[in-house]
Amino acid sequence: MAPDALPGELLVPQPTLADFPDFVSIPVRIARHAEAWPDRRAVVCEGKTRTWRELDHRINKIARTLAGMGIGKGDKIAILAGNSVEYVETFMGGLRAGACVVPLSTMAAADALEKMLDDCDAKLLFLSDQYRALVEPYDARLGKLIPGGRIAYDFERPGWHDFETWLAGASDLPFELPIEQLDDFNIIYSSGTTGLPKGILHTHAMRDLLAVRFTAFDYDPESISLASTPLYSNTTLVAVLATLGVGGTTILMPKSDVVKFLEIAQKERVTHAMLVPVQYQRILAYPDFDKYDLSSFKCKLSTSAPLRAHIKADAVKRWPGRLIEIYGLTEGGGSCTLEANLHPDKLHTVGKPGLGAEIVVLDEQGKVLQQGCIGELAGRAQAMMKGYYKQDDKTRELFWYDDQGRLYFKSGDMGRIDEDGFVILLDRKKDMIISGGFNVYAADIEVLLLKHSDVVDVAVIGIPSEQWGESPLALCVRRDGASVTEAEVMAWTNDQLSKTQRLVGVEFRDSLPRSTIGKIMKRELREPYWAGRSARI
């Protein structure tokens, strides 16, 4: 076990400056793009376009305005808004001024957002009208916002400054502030549903690596990347920052929509998209999918949740370009990539550790398990967060050290590594069902259920059992027009499961609750069954 950090030291050891000989911060990259190709499109959203020259000038104005308010190195600015050109400008302008940007989830409850705004020490808040109701209940209590620190993108209200008016007086001449590799870039709040979500603190070096490494996925200045998930999500930011970093064009969609996605992809000759699994499912299921010309695609990426093997196979068959699945934590550490087109026999996996990452599988005592054994995945890599902002105790809960004293992050995911080194992901550790003392993995049962011709979506959860402690229950979405009964699906499934895995029931649902980035909200599904009990929900 390595010692705790001394006062003034980083809790999570970071690479040395020598490890980043080619480091160029994203804001500096944007300035260089503005010089190299000033009239090319940089960002597009709903008919509004910024060329690289225009984007760079707007970023300068924002940085100068922030600096004039006293915002500098390490200060926090928060954004609560839908996808827009102005959102990107604000984010990049904050970075150029030396600030750390905090994109807030528009899916969070008002009380959770109040806690986040206090926790992150934000001095300014940029807000769009669509989400005013999430701020107004506690607006008067936001004591850490500085005078003039309430900026409205698209509404008028006493105490709030109009964004364009706030910006109008500033010069667009170059604003230059030295940015170091380990300076704070952003805080991304985890999707925790109880208590205070954890603020994941990233550095400029960690983010710049996206522009360097995503060239392996064919990102270049000719790339046209379509972003259809919210900008507060790390999933979205990864692709947007990579595109900005290499000088490609980012097209933003205010919200995900299958038809609009396909129309834009065809019209704009889109080359890249970072999508979440539910988007692949819905896009490929659209009856007119094959009528659209998607031949411009070079690479499609998937992350945030496991992409089902049959959906990967369908995408490889029907959607031009490479399909890459990325598995990893927002916190950084170990990550895996699966190039689905090259490994058709490994679509049930999330690929191999890549980009200098290392993955191990741990038992309950923290000992490394042999290949093929199931345990908790832990990983390390060059790209690892600084820590959870102001939550050193929560940061330490992630730690595991190997016999050389090297730090790994425990993932909370259960899985195993197969004989070829590919990682097979099972369940979140907290979602694992313990029935009669046996570990039951919902993912195994879900894979089987999706082979039923009348089941199009499914979530398996553990519910209370007097006899076994927990038992698996399947919540299924039927294919439109299907007449199969719950009892028939249960019998079909249990005939193919071991005794310890058998379902205690099947319930049909019209749909399953998902977050804005497509993760099934299993806690919400479990809650009614565990209400009033001491067991976890």
Which CATH number does the domain housing residue 479 bear? 3.30.300.30
pLDDT at 468: 85
Same domain, 333 and 423: yes
Would you say residue 363 lies in a domain? yes
Would you say residue 60 lies in a domain? yes
Mean pLDDT over 431-438 rounds to: 84
Residue 111 three-state SS: helix
Mean pLDDT over 272-291 rounds to: 95
pLDDT at 21: 81
- Is residue 81 a contact partner of residue 192, using CB atoms and an 8 Å limit? no
pLDDT at 17: 74
pLDDT at 535: 47
pTM for the complete prediction? 0.89
As a whole number of angstroms, the distance between CA 491 and CA 312 comes to 28
pLDDT at 190: 82
Would you say residue 296 lies in a domain? yes
**pLDDT per residue as tens digits for the range 129-187:** 999 999 999 999 999 999 999 999 999 999 999 999 999 999 999 999 999 999 999 99
Would you say residue 227 lies in a domain? no
pLDDT at 191: 63
As a whole number, the mean pLDDT across the chain is: 93
Q: Which residue, chain included where needed, has tokens 């009856």?
A: 287
Same domain, 139 and 156: yes
Pairing outcome for strands 199-203 and 184-189: antiparallel
Would you say residue 249 lies in a domain? no
pLDDT band at 517 (very low <50, low <70, confident <90, very high): confident
Same domain, 396 and 451: no
Name 160's Cβ contacts closer than 8 Å, sequence gap at least 6: 127, 150, 151, 152
**pLDDT per residue as tens digits for the range 382-421:** 889 999 999 999 999 999 999 999 999 999 999 999 999 9
Domain limits at 390? 256-428
As a whole number of angstroms, the distance between CA 91 and CA 63 comes to 10
Of 275, 226, 276, 216, whose CA–CA distance to 249 is shortest?
Answer: 226
Same domain, 415 and 438: no
CATH number, domain containing residue 405: 3.40.50.12780
Same domain, 191 and 305: no
Same domain, 335 and 192: no
Two tokens, residue 515: 């977050």
The arrangement of strands across the sheet holding 199-203 comes to 161-162, 150-152, 122-127, 76-80, 100-103, 184-189, 199-203, 387-388
Same domain, 141 and 61: yes
**pLDDT per residue as tens digits for the range 173-207:** 999 999 999 999 999 998 644 457 899 999 999 99
Would you say residue 5 lies in a domain? no
Two tokens, residue 44: 């597009």
As a whole number of angstroms, the distance between CA 277 and CA 364 comes to 30
Mean pLDDT over 501-526 rounds to: 90
Q: Which of 405, 428, 451 is the last residue of a domain?
A: 428
pLDDT at 62: 98
Name 282's Cβ contacts closer than 8 Å, sequence gap at least 6: 258
pLDDT band at 430 (very low <50, low <70, confident <90, very high): confident
As a whole number of angstroms, the distance between CA 157 and CA 179 comes to 35
Give the up-direction half-sphere exposure of residue 239: CA atoms within 13 A in the CB hemisphere. Answer: 32
Same domain, 295 and 442: no
Same domain, 92 and 197: yes
Other CB atoms within 10 A of residue 389 CB? 23
Other CB atoms within 10 A of residue 4 CB? 10
pLDDT at 248: 98
Q: Which of 371, 398, 428 is the last residue of a domain?
A: 428
CATH number, domain containing residue 113: 3.40.50.980
Q: Which of 428, 444, 471 is the last residue of a domain?
A: 428
Indicate the residue type of 365. Answer: Q
Q: Is the pLDDT of residue 1 over 80?
A: no
pLDDT band at 4 (very low <50, low <70, confident <90, very high): low
- Is residue 202 a contact partner of residue 101, using CB atoms and an 8 Å limit? no
Q: Is the pLDDT of residue 3 over 70?
A: no
**pLDDT per residue as tens digits for the range 86-116:** 999 999 999 999 999 999 999 888 998 999 9
As a whole number of angstroms, the distance between CA 245 and CA 239 comes to 10
Same domain, 147 and 290: no
pLDDT at 334: 86
Would you say residue 274 lies in a domain? yes
As a whole number of angstroms, the distance between CA 303 and CA 518 comes to 10
Domain count, the chain: 3
Same domain, 161 and 303: no
Two tokens, residue 253: 């969609």
Same domain, 194 and 308: no
**pLDDT per residue as tens digits for the range 242-276:** 999 999 999 999 999 999 999 999 999 999 999 99
Give the up-direction half-sphere exposure of residue 9: CA atoms within 13 A in the CB hemisphere. Answer: 8
pLDDT at 436: 80
Which DSSP helix (H) or strand (E) runs through 426?
strand 423-428
Would you say residue 18 lies in a domain? no
Of 297, 252, 257, whose CA–CA distance to 279 is shortest?
Answer: 257
